[in-house]
Amino acid sequence: MKKAIFPGSFDPITLGHFDIIERGVTLFDELIIAIGINADKKYMFSLEERKAFIENTFAHEPKIKVVTYSGLTVNFCKEQNAQFILRGLRNPADFEFEKAIAHTNRKLSEIETVFLLTSSGKSYISSSIVRDVIRNNGDYTGLVPKAVRI
């Protein structure tokens, strides 16, 4: 069984994440969307809200499981018996950053990282941009799944 972890903070989940998840779920038998917990980070949405956004968005998809974790992603992969980490790439800067993490993860474990390019119409969307639009009372509805539209 091919199992992958798609880790992130998902603060909030965006249509870019949605794109990677929808395409990634076709590649694996199970896709675990793993919300990382970082005590040093200030989030706009609570952990419970972020988890609910994702669960509501993918309630129709039995191959997707949503969980939270802390610590190294490779250790979490081992706990979940996942052989792959799924990551999305929007631009060359993402690639350089993610490549370094993938090489480090590969040094620490046997877990492979699989990269998917975000669809061209979604490559400009990031959670930080969405948070900025929300903070400034802008229309963010075209940037996130319906479950996030509060």
User: Could you give the residue numbers annotated as active site?
Assistant: 17, 41, 90, 127
Residue 109's contacts (CB-CB under 8 Å, 6 or more residues apart) are 74, 77, 78
d(CA 112, CA 74): 10
Q: Which two tokens stand for residue 56?
A: 């509501």
| Secondary structure letter of residue 146 according to DSSP | G
